[in-house]
Structure 1
Amino acid sequence: MRRALLLALLGGLFLDGVAGADAALVGRTLRFEDGPALRWARTYPAELGDLTGPVTLGDTVYLGVGPMVDAVGEDGRLRARYALPAPVTSLDATGGTLRVSTQGDGYVERFTLGDPGGGGEVLERVVFPPDPEVTGWLARAARLVPTEDLARAAREDPLNPFLALAEAGQAARRGDRYATLEAVRRTLGAELPFPAWVQLAAGLDAAGFPAAADLALDRARRDAAARGYDPEVRVSRQALFAYGNPSGYVGTLLDQGRLGRAEVWMRYLRDLHPRFEGGPALYARYADLLDAQGRGGEAEEWRQFSRGLRAGTLYNLGPEAPQQVRAVLRLVTLALLLALGAALLALTLRAWRVQGEDLRPLGGRWASWGRHPLARARRVAVLYAPFGERLVLVALAAGLLTSVAGWQWANGAAARLQAPALNIGTYGGGWYAAQLDDLDLRATPDTALLAGLSAQLDGDESAARDRYARAPGDPCALNNLGVIAQARGDLPQARDLYRAALADRPDLAAAAYNLGLSPGTPGTLFQRAYRPGEPRLCYPDDRSLTRAVQGDLSVTLMRDLRDPLGTLAPGPGQGVRLGWAFLAALGVLAGLALALLVPRPTGAHRQGRPAPYRLAALLLPGSSLLEGAWGGVLLLAWGAALAGLASPAGLIRFPPPEGLVQPGTRGLLLTLLASTYVLNTAAFIAAELRYARRRRRERAAT
């Protein structure tokens, strides 16, 4: 009995000692104290972000450090590190699981942390925003360690491979080959998010460990694939910089002439981020260097790959399609302005003498506006033209209004397609949703497809089905509904949905892949290599995204016509000067359309062909032939030739379309311009002969 009592007392004392051990945060130092005794302590520099916690769950202490959560055992060893998309704001261990809240700019996300023995697994999907403060946390933490403290820091933090990489560099400089290889081995022993793997690969490559760098890049691909990043989604230069800046490192390798290593990194970009901003230029540069080395076959393969990425873009013009459309519409606008201005000038010169005679009783050409405004308005130069010529002017003004609206549309499409939310390599996540709200998407099937895909990637299949229902019959939505059916084990329904999607759109690579065919697109090749056995999701192409964020040209034109003053409001790609240009074009069109309803002044038949008008008719091809159908065509051809030549000559500041910088284009434009003058001269001579015969007949009749 005494023995049992003694054991119970000793057990109680032991439990009291364990219960007294607890973690506390003092300043920026995490301390684990057992009563008055300090078991261990870890200090975090202020540059790593705010500290949250600590929270103890079981035998593990959790502390939020910026966008990371460290899981430390009671023995002081770092057991796991969880990478999150934004700074941690709270830790909650109620219910036996650890819940973490993170807060970004305008959004909050909550995650559940897995067992630290699993290597830092976050149970929900984590989408990293293009923020180097988040994705570069590990590399930044390693840079903060002084050289003399490197060995100690590496022992205390074995989950930061950048510390091991720094140790490998030190050992290599000492000539200690064994220590170098051991440190390199430790760099590859942690579980990291893919941006950290890319940064680590660049460091390994620069330090002279290419095999380890190749392995790090492969792990980056696999981690990105597991997180839902996909080659079909575009990546901006800003996002790529936050994800390790692989394109920038390729540029460094090419500058150094290390084409062999550049090929490895180009393959990484081609596999995971083929649609990155600036990709066509880098692909072209790499192909040119391959050509210079006599590797023409490989060079042509890269050029063909770059051309293949144009499929699904606007008019298959590539990722810069909106900018190319805008450049064309600028020249169209200039051509229409020249044509309309030339026509109005010619008509004014023809009516000038007769108009002056008619206005003399009213007070003169200018004073009559104040004395008799209505009578003066009845005698503007345009009203002296016959109905056919006025109709041509209206057509030119309508074309001008449409081209300005198209210019606005191209501006808006370019700006909205470059929105950060649509250029991070994937969809979904809190940062994405917050950014997407700023785009004010239109309620269309394409928008429903985008929303459904985001929910499906985030694991919310119920929300995904509800949103896909708003895009009935859309082939992409049908394919993704098939993926949901296959995930719940209903393979027959899934295959029916895949077949329906492929029947409606035979070029849909995702549905073909899911039916067991072998399309060779970047997305399906990536799926086969890094997500084997999983069905392929369908991602919206640039055409679908444009319809979702901007609508087509008719939508923009009708919106601007319903609310003309709205064109002056700021918005993505919305310029005030272009808004004023639209209002001016609308005013010109309204005035010319109204002129169709007003009869000609009684003295219009006395206009004849005065000398200034004849000079204008010779210098401005087509301006004196507007009553015939070919006059307007000739005038437009002349305006188009001049507009096309204005850009190479440096007369306008806008960059020209790609076609205008091709060899031989300038010669073709000069030929077109000369042809308009030749045809116009022949038509002018014929018109003069007809006019002379008519005058002779009139004199003979009198």
Structure 2
Amino acid sequence: MNGRRALWLGALGLTLLGLCSGAQAAAVLDGRTLTFAQGGQTLSALRFPESAGELSGPVTQGEMTWLGVGPALYGFDASGTASTRLDFSDMISSLDASGGVLRVTAGPSGAQDTYTVSGGEIQERVVFVPDPQVTGWLRRVAEQVPQAQVAQAAAQDPTNPFLALRLAALARQRGDRFTALNQTQRAASLPLAFPALLQLAAQMETLNSPSAANLLLSRAGRDYAARGYDPALPISRAALRAYGDPLGELEQLLGENKLERADVWIRYLRQTSPRFEGGPALYARYAELLDAQGRSGEAEEWRAFARTLSQGTLYNLGADALLTLRDAARLSTLALLVSVLAAYLTLAARAWRLQGQDTAALGGRWGSWLRHPLSRLRRSVVAYSGLGEKLVLLSLLSAVLLTLSAWTWAARTETRLQAPALNIGTYGGAWFYGGLDDLELTTSRESALLRGLAAQLDGDDPAARSSYQQGAALPCVQNNLGVLAQNRDDSAQARELWRVSLSEAPDLLAPAYNLGLQPSAPEAVFQREYRAEPRLCYPDQRALVRALGGSLAGQLRTLVLNPYGALLATPTRLSAPLQALWVTLLLLSYALCVVWLLTPTPDRERRAGRPALFRLLAALLPGSALLDGAWGVVLLLGWAAALCGVVVNRGLIHVPYLPPLLSASGASLLLAGIYILNVLGLGLQELARFRGRRAARRASERASR
């Protein structure tokens, strides 16, 4: 019995000894140094500089130790060698493996995404925050390594391609072409997210390695598509700059007249994100360069492509449609105000003498305001005008209110439309939802489409269906519900929903693509090359405008219900007191015009005077003395519009998004024609007055006989 017990104890001791000798190395983070030790012996010590960002962890799972460094999660084996790097949407804030599953939290408090890491891969969709500190982290860390420590840093982090490129540069300096080529090829083959791929491609251009740059651009496009980014959505210059800055590289190549390489980069942009900020101007510039080389056919093809991008925008005016409307409203407001001022001055010049006579008994032209304000109000210079002239003046002021409302609506909606959350080339992620909440979307079907689409891209199908229920009548929603049905392998329902979507909106691309009709739009080309699944329908600019700012009709309703508040929002860049002052004066003038419209007009005999100042203003301000007829209004508005055209052509007023309607010579000719017609009208008016007086005199003579 004692012998058997001794055997058992011996076996147990040997087992424990074997387990201890085979124990996994322990990973300990001390400050910014991660140490791997086993059996009291240090296997490796990895030092992370301050420039790498905050550290999270370490967390050990099985044979892998995970450490969060900035926005990257590194996986180390037992010896401390980095074998895996995963890129996250934002800076990593915490790691948690308490439930047996590694969960990674990225982003600041209030805008955090939580991801699951399994099998060395991120299970959820990653939407990168458009922040160069995040998306340019790998390159920045590599560039900040001192020259003498590049080899050591590359050995510590073999997943960083920018360190490999620095090793290649050092090898070239030594004349070691084989090592330089080997390191360059290794850098181009490492797994990367599309922002880093684009940054690496730009460096390959600098190194005169076009084939490597082409390969990296192709990989970038595939990763871009796999992460749910799409060419149907706009993308800002700031977002492009954060995502590897392909636009900056393209502009540099164009500036260096490297058109062959520029063609590769502009085609990448055309395929992945053609609706980038400043796209129309760049497409036009590229077409002009092609024309200069005698490649007019290609140039026209680029111009035609740029025109196709205007479909779905406001009034099909293109990406800058709201800015065009804003500038048109500003210029129209100026022309109307000039017309109102010209009409008022002319009417005042005609009634000035009569007004002085009528107010003399009330205390004078100015003193009567204190003694008899109501009587003085009834004797305004406008009150001496005819009913037609009063109606014209009131109509002009009404038009001013309308153009101011259009200006306010266009400027406010454009500002909201340029919100960063809507201009990163995709939807989804905590950063996107935070930006969307700040916009305070209107309660509309388009808002439901926007939120449902973001949820669907993030893989949250129940949330997507819940949002889509609020906008189920939209053809775009019908298409996306069909995609959800197809994902459930319900092909019959999917095709029925796509047919309904296409029948309600025959020009909609997504259902046509899903039904196999082979549309030729850029989005369809992108879908065929990079994705195998059905195509989602994205809101166009008109849908986004309705989701963000409502309609222009809604702005007009606000003007009717709260004119003071609506006009205070006009973006005039004036200080708050000055803004309040001109709004008050405008509304007061409008109210007085309504009062004067109801004020009885003096008899025609008393209005018949035409003093010299009136005649001068009538000649200088075309149409202002002819407002009792339709042609007077036409001349007045035409003159004001032509005058504004001259001012714009001379650069005194800047309306960059409004296409030039008249050249400088055209505006001058129009002004000259208007003045000639005005003189002709005034001459006919004088002739009619002369005949009227002569007829009255003859009638008087006959009566006296």
Which residue in the other structure is 2:555 paired with? 556
CA distance in 1: counterparts of 2:253 and 2:42, whole angstroms: 50
- TM-score of the superposed pair, with normalisation by structure 2: 0.94
Are the equivalent residues in 1 in contact too, given 2:649–2:663 (CA < 8 A)?
no
* Deviation of 1:135 (Å): 0.2
3-state SS of paired residue (2:112): strand
Are the equivalent residues in 1 in contact too, given 2:90–2:134 (CA < 8 A)?
yes
3-state SS of paired residue (1:127): coil
Are the equivalent residues in 1 in contact too, given 2:619–2:679 (CA < 8 A)?
yes
Are the equivalent residues in 2 in contact too, given 1:384–1:601 (CA < 8 A)?
yes
Report 1:621-660 matches (<5 A).
621-655=622-656, 657-660=658-661
Report 1:485-564 matches (<5 A).
485-531=485-531, 533-564=532-563
**Gap change, CA 1:572 and 1:699, over 3 Å in 2:** closer
Which residue in the other structure is 2:71 paired with? 67
**Gap change, CA 1:583 and 1:280, over 3 Å in 2:** farther
CA distance in 1: counterparts of 2:370 and 2:581, whole angstroms: 27
Does the alignment pair 1:55 with 2:59?
Answer: yes
> C-alpha offsets along residues 412-455 of structure 1, whole Å, 9 cap, x if unaligned?
12211111011101011111111111111111111111111111
> C-alpha offsets along residues 86-129 of structure 1, whole Å, 9 cap, x if unaligned?
2212111022210111223741221111222xxxx211111011
Does the alignment pair 1:43 with 2:27?
Answer: no
Which residue in the other structure is 1:682 paired with? 680
CA distance in 2: counterparts of 1:693 and 1:508, whole angstroms: 66
Are the equivalent residues in 1 in contact too, given 2:568–2:579 (CA < 8 A)?
no
3-state SS of paired residue (1:659): coil
CA distance in 1: counterparts of 2:581 and 2:222, whole angstroms: 51
> Any unmatched runs of 5+ in structure 2?
701-705
- Of residues 640, 646, 667 in structure 2, which corresponds to 1:669? 667
CA distance in 2: counterparts of 1:605 and 1:447, whole angstroms: 61
3-state SS of paired residue (2:471): coil
Q: Which amino acid aligns with 2:562?
A: D
> C-alpha offsets along residues 512-570 of structure 1, whole Å, 9 cap, x if unaligned?
10110111111111010000x21011111111111111122221222244234434777
CA distance in 1: counterparts of 2:581 and 2:414, whole angstroms: 20
Which residue in the other structure is 1:469 paired with? 469
Which residue in the other structure is 2:703 paired with? none
Which residue in the other structure is 1:178 paired with? 178
> C-alpha offsets along residues 283-307 of structure 1, whole Å, 9 cap, x if unaligned?
2222222222222222222222122
Are the equivalent residues in 2 in contact too, given 1:514–1:536 (CA < 8 A)?
yes
Does the alignment pair 1:695 with 2:693?
Answer: yes
**Gap change, CA 1:17 and 1:470, over 3 Å in 2:** same
Q: Which amino acid aligns with 1:101?
A: T
Which residue in the other structure is 1:482 paired with? 482
Report 1:254-265 matches (<5 A).
254-265=254-265
Moved more, 611-620 or 265-274: 611-620
Which residue in the other structure is 2:383 paired with? 383
3-state SS of paired residue (1:651): coil
| RMSD of aligned alpha carbons | 2.1
3-state SS of paired residue (1:525): helix
CA distance in 2: counterparts of 1:570 and 1:397, whole angstroms: 18
Report 1:109-120 matches (<5 A).
109-116=113-120
Are the equivalent residues in 2 in contact too, given 1:415–1:573 (CA < 8 A)?
no
Which residue in the other structure is 1:332 paired with? 332
CA distance in 2: counterparts of 1:217 and 1:690, whole angstroms: 78
3-state SS of paired residue (1:331): helix
**Gap change, CA 1:175 and 1:302, over 3 Å in 2:** farther
Moved more, 534-543 or 8-17: 8-17
* Deviation of 1:669 (Å): 2.3
Which residue in the other structure is 2:609 paired with? 608
* Deviation of 1:34 (Å): 2.8
CA distance in 1: counterparts of 2:207 and 2:634, whole angstroms: 66
Moved more, 600-609 or 216-225: 600-609
Q: Which amino acid aligns with 1:380?
A: S
3-state SS of paired residue (2:28): strand
Q: Which amino acid aligns with 2:668?
A: L
Are the equivalent residues in 1 in contact too, given 2:407–2:570 (CA < 8 A)?
no
* Deviation of 1:17 (Å): 5.2
Are the equivalent residues in 2 in contact too, given 1:394–1:592 (CA < 8 A)?
yes
**Gap change, CA 1:569 and 1:684, over 3 Å in 2:** closer
- Of residues 61, 80, 83 in structure 2, which corresponds to 1:79? 83
- TM-score of the superposed pair, with normalisation by structure 1: 0.95
Are the equivalent residues in 1 in contact too, given 2:323–2:657 (CA < 8 A)?
no
CA distance in 1: counterparts of 2:547 and 2:573, whole angstroms: 17
3-state SS of paired residue (2:550): coil
**Gap change, CA 1:606 and 1:219, over 3 Å in 2:** closer
Are the equivalent residues in 1 in contact too, given 2:217–2:268 (CA < 8 A)?
yes
Are the equivalent residues in 2 in contact too, given 1:351–1:604 (CA < 8 A)?
no
CA distance in 1: counterparts of 2:677 and 2:658, whole angstroms: 28
- Of residues 11, 16, 20 in structure 1, which corresponds to 2:15? 11
Q: Which amino acid aligns with 1:424?
A: I
Which residue in the other structure is 1:26 paired with? 30
CA distance in 2: counterparts of 1:213 and 1:573, whole angstroms: 47
* Deviation of 1:578 (Å): 6.4
Are the equivalent residues in 2 in contact too, given 1:107–1:430 (CA < 8 A)?
yes
> C-alpha offsets along residues 384-407 of structure 1, whole Å, 9 cap, x if unaligned?
112121111111111011111111
Q: Which amino acid aligns with 1:667?
A: S
Are the equivalent residues in 2 in contact too, given 1:231–1:272 (CA < 8 A)?
yes
CA distance in 2: counterparts of 1:12 and 1:568, whole angstroms: 83
Moved more, 405-414 or 179-188: 179-188
CA distance in 1: counterparts of 2:305 and 2:324, whole angstroms: 20
Which residue in the other structure is 1:227 paired with? 227
Are the equivalent residues in 1 in contact too, given 2:479–2:536 (CA < 8 A)?
yes
Are the equivalent residues in 1 in contact too, given 2:408–2:569 (CA < 8 A)?
no
**Gap change, CA 1:49 and 1:569, over 3 Å in 2:** farther
CA distance in 2: counterparts of 1:89 and 1:403, whole angstroms: 50
**Gap change, CA 1:538 and 1:656, over 3 Å in 2:** closer
CA distance in 2: counterparts of 1:126 and 1:530, whole angstroms: 18
Report 1:436-447 matches (<5 A).
436-447=436-447
CA distance in 2: counterparts of 1:699 and 1:301, whole angstroms: 75
CA distance in 2: counterparts of 1:129 and 1:680, whole angstroms: 61
Moved more, 590-599 or 348-357: 590-599
**Gap change, CA 1:209 and 1:452, over 3 Å in 2:** same
Are the equivalent residues in 2 in contact too, given 1:53–1:63 (CA < 8 A)?
yes
3-state SS of paired residue (1:647): helix
> C-alpha offsets along residues 322-344 of structure 1, whole Å, 9 cap, x if unaligned?
22211211111111111111111
Are the equivalent residues in 2 in contact too, given 1:60–1:72 (CA < 8 A)?
yes
Which residue in the other structure is 1:212 paired with? 212
* Deviation of 1:373 (Å): 0.8
> Any unmatched runs of 5+ in structure 1?
none
